């Protein structure tokens, strides 16, 4: 019998975290490590409590940038993936540039976005969109093209047009591919927003990380990193929950259709 089930799967990560934090605290205290090199977890926790309101505010700003960039990237990705699926010329013309965009170090693009869009929200949204764009283009294209040609020919024989084949066949097959990409893109969009803030911003968790590093405020640096990590985990979790709810309802719809 498997001792790990859905009710206790979080027990082992929590126990591991507690052990690591205790070990970390003891090592820092015994070795008398300077706080600017490695603060004890107790110092980091105290910093979080003291600056909780501002950390939540900056994290919320980053979340807004990430989710808007995520939505922008995925809307464009779906449209482009549909174009790649229906036009080989379009795919051959633009797919190499999608790969090239992925190959460019994202930090190299950030200064250009500051020049083009300034220090406001738009530049961070674009940065988040750029970094989270590629996974869905690739996965959605692969999923949409995975439809069996026999099924496509059958629908054509029943007078189905391209739009009907797309929504009634191709998207049904592509859904698992799309959700896999959405979970990847969700964390990447947070990374993109943070990189954008570190390049040029006056607020956001990336800006907090940058200022803490400039001021050698290591406890605040750790606190900001924790909030950034938590933001990525929360976003990924939201996508996982959405996927679970969708497939649960999707299976009910399929059963009704069969009946």
**Secondary structure of the chain in the HEC alphabet?**
CCCCCCCCCCHHHHHHHHHHHHHHHHHHHHHCCCCCCCCCHHHHHHHHHHCHHHHHHHHHHHHHHHHHHHHHHHHHHHHHHHHHHHCHHHHHHHHHHHHHHHHCCHHHHHHHHHHHHCCCHHHHHHHHHHHHHHHHHHHHHHHHCCCCHHHHHHHHHCCCCHHHHHHHHHHHHHHHHHHHHHHHHHHHHHHHHHHHHHHCCCCCHHHHHHHHHHCCCHHHHHHHHHHHHHHHHHHHHHHHHHHHHHHHHHHHHHHHHHC
Give yes or no for a contact between 238 and 225, defined as CB atoms under 8 angstroms apart.
no
pLDDT of amino acid 253: 47
Asked if residue 200 lies in contact with residue 123, where contact means CB atoms within 8 angstroms, the answer is yes
The pLDDT value given to residue 259: 42
The pLDDT of residue 258: 38
Q: What is the pLDDT of residue 219?
A: 93
**Domain range summary for the chain, segments of one domain joined by +:** 40-258
Q: Tell me how crowded residue 109 is: count the other CB atoms within 10 A of its CB.
A: 19
Whole-number Å distance between alpha carbons of 81 and 150: 21
What pLDDT is stored for residue 160 in this prediction?
A: 79
Q: Are 77 and 138 in contact (CB under 8 A)?
A: no
193, 204 contact by CB (below 8 A):
yes
Task: Identify the pLDDT of residue 221.
Answer: 94
Backbone region of residue 60 per phi and psi (left: phi > 0; alpha: psi in -120 to 50; beta: other values):
alpha
Homologous superfamily of the 40-258 domain (CATH)? MetI-like (1.10.3720.10)
Residue pLDDT tens, the chain, 259 long:
455 555 567 788 888 889 999 999 999 988 888 888 889 999 999 999 999 999 999 999 999 999 999 999 999 999 999 898 888 888 888 888 888 777 777 777 878 887 888 778 888 898 899 888 888 898 888 888 888 888 887 888 777 788 888 888 888 888 888 898 898 898 999 999 998 888 877 889 999 999 999 998 999 999 999 999 999 999 998 998 888 888 877 655 444 443 4
**What angle is formed at CA 70 by the lines to CA 69 and CA 74, rounded to 5 degrees?**
115
What pLDDT does residue 6 have? 57
- Output the pLDDT for position 250: 64
């Amino acid at each position: 019998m498997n001792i790990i089930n859905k009710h206790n799967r979080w027990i082992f990560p929590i126990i591991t975290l507690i052990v690591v934090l205790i070990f970390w605290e003891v090592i820092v205290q015994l070795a008398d490590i300077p706080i600017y090199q490695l603060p004890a977890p107790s110092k980091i926790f105290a910093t979080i409590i003291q600056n909780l309101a501002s950390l939540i505010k900056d994290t919320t700003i980053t979340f807004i940038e990430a989710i808007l960039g995520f939505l922008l990237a995925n809307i464009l990705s779906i449209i482009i993936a549909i174009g790649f699926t229906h036009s080989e010329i379009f795919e051959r013309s633009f797919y190499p540039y999608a790969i090239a965009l992925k190959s460019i170090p994202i930090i190299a693009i950030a200064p250009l976005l500051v020049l083009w869009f300034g220090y406001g929200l738009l530049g961070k949204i674009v940065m988040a969109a750029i970094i989270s764009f590629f996974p869905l283009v690739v996965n959605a294209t692969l999923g949409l093209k995975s439809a069996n040609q026999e099924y496509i020919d059958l629908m054509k024989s029943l007078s189905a047009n391209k739009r009907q084949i797309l929504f009634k066949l191709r998207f049904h097959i592509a859904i698992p591919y799309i959700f896999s990409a959405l979970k990847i893109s969700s964390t990447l969009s947070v990374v993109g927003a943070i990189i954008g803030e570190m390049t040029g911003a006056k607020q956001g968790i990336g800006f907090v990380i940058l200022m803490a590093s400039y001021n050698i405020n290591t406890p605040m640096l750790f606190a900001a990193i924790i909030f950034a990590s938590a933001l990525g985990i929360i976003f990924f979790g939201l996508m996982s929950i959405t996927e679970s709810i969708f497939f649960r309802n999707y299976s009910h719809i399929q059963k009704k259709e069969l009946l």
